[in-house]
Amino acid sequence: MPVVEFIEDVAVDAELDRQLRQLLSTCFTKPEDIVFRDRRYFHLSPRWRWLVRGDGGELIAHVAVHDKVIGTIAGDVRIAGVAEVCVHPQHRGQGLVREVLATAHVWLAARDIPVALLFGDKKHYASSGYRNITNPLRCQNPETKEWSVKPSDWIMMKPLRVFDWPAGVIDLCGSGF
């Protein structure tokens, strides 16, 4: 069983920052992912991180979580915005994503955060309890600052306690994470 470490992002020192950027750059290889060479997040710096290290102390798995409030027709909802989920290619297939997410989910639920939201593919996250939502998503483009409402078939949610997912537009109240 791997040891999952927790750290607040504000506590990340220069060495951990370097290790995070190295892991993220190794795992995320699309052209837009070049941002990880220079920073440890894609659009926004997260509040919390969960890490797994290999036998030699190297980072092999990671999950970042944003503490966000989204707007819904039922009112504002505090969410855990899950981002930068990754496992080093040499350590995949060992259930590390499920383990790290399960640890994070318990921690988040204990802080009364009702739901986790992520942008991803069900083949990677369904086994951790995530399901696709079909609500339109309102968000801001971080580069142009323009707002748009788009379908959200690539967004997934997981209730962290009894929670009825709302109908209607989901407003990210900013950019994606």
Alpha helices (H) along the chain:
14-27, 96-110, 122-125
pLDDT for 103-124, tens place per residue?
999 999 999 999 999 999 888 9
pLDDT for 141-169, tens place per residue?
988 999 999 988 789 999 999 999 999 99
Helices (H) and strands (E) in the chain, counts: 3, 10
pLDDT band at 7 (very low <50, low <70, confident <90, very high): very high
Residue 154 has a pLDDT of 84
As given in the structure block, the two tokens for residue 72 are: 């819904």
Q: Which CATH number fits domain 4-171: 3.40.630.30, 3.40.47.10, 3.40.50.970, 3.40.50.300?
A: 3.40.630.30
